[in-house]
Chain A
């Protein structure tokens, strides 16, 4: 039986960060997962009810792989927060495209999120060449409920103490273009796939040969398409326009409901998680992992997601591989229903 620590205490959180960023062999990962699972189950009623429905308790849990995962949509319908009445230090909102209501990820403090965001990026070498960072996104102070802006802000703080710059949409594109044209040291350009598409539209046929060692990072492109541009075409356009290799383009796969991110390199790259987070590709009917090479849904176990729930079930399709997973895109929001009215249709009529 575990005696879970109290994750509201700053010292405990610092120790947890150290544990996550330290060596994490399988047994240690299992121990930490059980500890966080027991703590969250005791504090998040919806998670407790979900686990009860699956007949899983800390005492009966055999492996971290059996932890019931919270459907992502629950962040829109319930408060998933492990600190009761304590005021969250940050609230990140998801898009409200599915139900019209945004989901909310409440963090007691951004300390753990910041630590793993930065460590995750460092692990894959994003800051190795000390690039000049540019973000096609709103800065955190203007988008306090955007987890993406927050992450970019953390990166900016971690890499060369705030040398980076945020560029917000079309109004800033001319300035960004001029800045990139004159760059002499490696630059990094990060933003949503959608933001990149807009920037490409703005640049038209203009080519910007970025200095050697530069990289691009797009996120949100995992859905397979950004606007009308399939991912291979987007990456081809990025390599052509910015003069970088396909391997110098990263995809970040994360979401507001999580604290950790997975990364893939190049348009066909496999996604890999940091040691403190795992992704299982599961059959939703059984909750068990599919065999390698088979398609299933992405399920996250994120030890950095201390303040809400560590296990998240997404509707993102992926193929399990020996060394990671290949994202295929999100399930359509509804199956073909023809004349039968669905939730999306109902919303559309309002």
Chain B
């Protein structure tokens, strides 16, 4: 039996970059009130309370990105629960599955024994868990919700999109452009924190903006680890996006030798349309007054808005709030939320635990 502090130490030693100890400590303190809240009674406003971790958490991972699953498992380990993990199904690109397995195998033994990996869907594991955390599309969430009992907690991370907002495109600096490029290229746009579009405030010189973003994308790509060859389906989607845009007369910026690392397309229609991902980013002009209309199709599904510069016009901020945005951050930080961020507006550890109150007067 380990304490929270011991588990944090083990995790931070094994993955110092991914899970720095000070951040883990801050996460527990912020969300549970005390580093020992799971291990001892703590005093809170005259009442002694203690957090209780679920015996078992069942994590259902999506096939697009490993980081969400890894973070979810880490949260389960911090609270000391047993974690059953349904891996993504093997696909043409099994990177996500491999990365999750590698993470679990690299855990210290005393944490690894708390994790059980499952390749097949296991309804028994689903039924046994006190908490179910699932990542995936909305259809998957709906199907899972139907299987969950009333006494189980179901934390669904369904569909979401993220985007960048540039308030003054004509004054976009090279540094800001590179920050946007990081947001686009990190994880190959595969996560819900990945920017699928860059919205900018009218009026602006679109050709100049597109050129700057394109240059930044190429420069940033060259600093990143080379990706494995793209599978046929991905090559097809990128080629199709480029050809469609060119045939429609949209401005298109392509990399040298037309490599498939990135694509910038200016779509004059401000209405949000999902990107085919894999480095395909759409530039769309909008106005603060029309943002809610232009993004109406994804109302309630916008996770993160990355903002260039330090200011966000009140009208723009309000529009995004009306659209249900749950996180603002600086450009370049979209993919790197702090460990304590509220994923889909939720407290990651806080939602896992339940509380025991002891209201008796002290000493009785």
Contact = CB atoms under 8 A, between A and B. Distances in A.
Nearest to A314: B236
Contact of A348 (B139, B157, B161, B243): B139
B244 A335 contact: no
A338 B137 contact: yes
Interface string B179-201: 00000000001111010100000
A260 B153 CA distance: 56
Interface stretch (B31-39, B78-86, B246-254): B246-254
B338 interface: no
Given A285-B260, A338-B64, A341-B161, A71 B247 contact: yes
B244 A77 contact: yes
A70 B246 CA distance: 10
Given A71-B243, A78-B247, A53 B252 contact: yes
Given A77-B248, A338-B64, A350 B297 contact: yes
Contacts of A338: 62-65, 68, 88, 135-137, 190-192
Interface in B268-322: 273-274, 277, 297-298, 301
A340 B232 contact: no
B298 A346 contact: yes
Interface residues on B, range: 35 or more
Contacts of A296: 232
B248 A46 contact: yes
A341 B232 contact: no
A313 B246 CA distance: 14
Given A70-B247, A340-B191, A285 B235 contact: yes
Interface in A317-334: 317, 331-332
Nearest to B234: A335
Interface string A29-70: 000000000000000011101101110000000000000111
A340 B248 contact: no
A47 B247 contact: yes
A345 B159 contact: yes
Nearest to B231: A335
A341 B159 contact: yes
Contacts of B260: 285
B29 interface: no
Given A339-B135, A339-B137, A313 B240 contact: yes
B233 interface: yes
A331 to B, nearest CB: 5
* Residue among B238, B243, B298, B301 with the highest chain A CB neighbour number at 10 A: B243
B158 A297 contact: no
B91 interface: yes
B320 to A, nearest CB: 16
A331 B236 contact: yes
A49 B62 contact: no
A297 B235 CA distance: 10
A167 B260 CA distance: 48
B160 interface: yes
Contacts of A45: 249
Contacts of B258: 285
A332 B236 CA distance: 11
A339 B191 contact: yes
Interface string B61-80: 01111001000000000000
Contacts of B194: 340
Contacts of B136: 338-339
A68 B65 contact: no
Contact of B240 (A47, A284, A295): A284
A341 B277 contact: no
A341 B160 contact: yes
Contact of B233 (A47, A50, A331): A331
B247 A74 contact: yes
B86 to A, nearest CB: 13
* Residue among B233, B237, B258, B260 with the highest chain A CB neighbour number at 10 A: B233
* Residue among A52, A313, A315, A335 with the highest chain B CB neighbour number at 10 A: A335
A284 B236 contact: yes
A349 B139 CA distance: 10
B246 A50 contact: yes
Contacts of A285: 230, 235, 238-239, 258, 260
Interface in A59-118: 68-71, 73-74, 77-78
B240 A340 contact: no
25 contacts: A46-B247, A46-B248, A49-B248, A52-B246, A53-B242, A53-B246, A53-B247, A73-B244, A74-B248, A283-B235, A313-B239, A313-B243, A336-B88, A336-B91, A336-B93, A338-B65, A338-B135, A338-B190, A339-B62, A339-B68, A339-B158, A339-B160, A340-B189, A341-B274, A341-B301
Given A284-B240, A339-B62, 15 more contacts: A47-B247, A49-B248, A69-B243, A285-B258, A313-B239, A331-B236, A335-B234, A337-B137, A338-B68, A338-B88, A338-B191, A339-B68, A339-B135, A346-B274, A346-B298
Interface of B: 62-65, 68, 88, 91, 93, 135-139, 157-161, 189-192, 194, 196, 230, 232-240, 242-244, 246-249, 252, 258, 260, 273-274, 277, 297-298, 301
Interface of A: 45-47, 49-50, 52-54, 68-71, 73-74, 77-78, 283-285, 287, 295-297, 313, 315, 317, 331-332, 335-343, 345-346, 348-350
A-B residue pairs, 10 tightest by C-beta = A338-B62, A338-B64, A53-B246, A284-B239, A336-B63, A341-B159, A50-B247, A339-B192, A46-B247, A285-B235
